[in-house]
Structure 1
Amino acid sequence: MSEQIRLVILITTLPGRGHEQIAAFERLAPTVRAEEGCLRYDLHQVAGDPDRFVLIEQWAGRQALDAHDAAPHMVEADAANKAFRAGPAEVIRLAADPVA
């Protein structure tokens, strides 16, 4: 059995363009959540900063994440995001087991 993968993705938009990130996520989320192996795909806005976000993803394993990354809707979304993002997202992979 494949080990689950948990990601925390830090996103910053250009000033005043956080609403575009929210709209893009709302369009994309149903498709991603329907992907085989997607266990969680949630966007959170940072309190007090309308242009910063944390995306939390959980995947059933490496194969599911690889398929997600290569999916046409993700390739398209990654290209479109450049119009309103301040730079590349920072992807943090969490260890399999919690510390405590």
Structure 2
Amino acid sequence: MSDEVRLVVIITAQPGKGSEQVSAFEKLAPQVRAEDGCLQYDLHPVVGNPDGFVLIEKWASKAALDAHHVAAHMLEQAKRNPSLRAGPATVLLLEGPVAAA
């Protein structure tokens, strides 16, 4: 059994602020990807919705994810999120993949 943690985060920017959300991600992503235990941190725009995004995250362990949440750059970004986002993100914690029969 793997200790990896996978998340899908659904983000909706305030109307017209999708490009600002992308800029914020582009600034933040290198810092997150440099964190111990970060295996994936990718933002995907939603087709047909310039203010909709899905963030795919994969972490080596729950401890790595917990450390990510309290990293200084994440705490700073959390202060800015209300000016970009239409509301709180929806975070989906995934189980490991279903094995094919």
Question: Which interval holds the TM-score relative to the shorter structure?
Answer: over 0.9
Aligned to 1:48: 48
Aligned to 2:77: 77
Aligned to 2:14: 14
| CA-based RMSD | 1.3
Aligned to 1:28: 28
Specify the SS of the correspondent of 1:3: coil
Aligned to 2:88: 88
TM-score for both structures, normalised by structure 2: 0.94
Gaps of 5+ in 1: none
Specify the SS of the correspondent of 2:48: coil
TM-score for both structures, normalised by structure 1: 0.95
Letter in 2 for 1:14: Q
Gaps of 5+ in 2: none
Number of matched pairs: 100
Does structure 2 conserve the Cα–Cα contact (< 8 Å) formed by 1:2 and 1:62? Answer: no
Flag as ranges the 4+ runs of structure 1 deviating above 6 A: none
2:50, 2:23 → 1: CA distance? 13
Deviation string for 1:31-79 (max 9, x for gaps)?
Answer: 0000000000000000010000000000000110000000010011011
Letter in 1 for 2:77: A
Of Structure 1 and Structure 2, the greater strand share is in: 2
1:45, 1:99 → 2: CA distance? 29
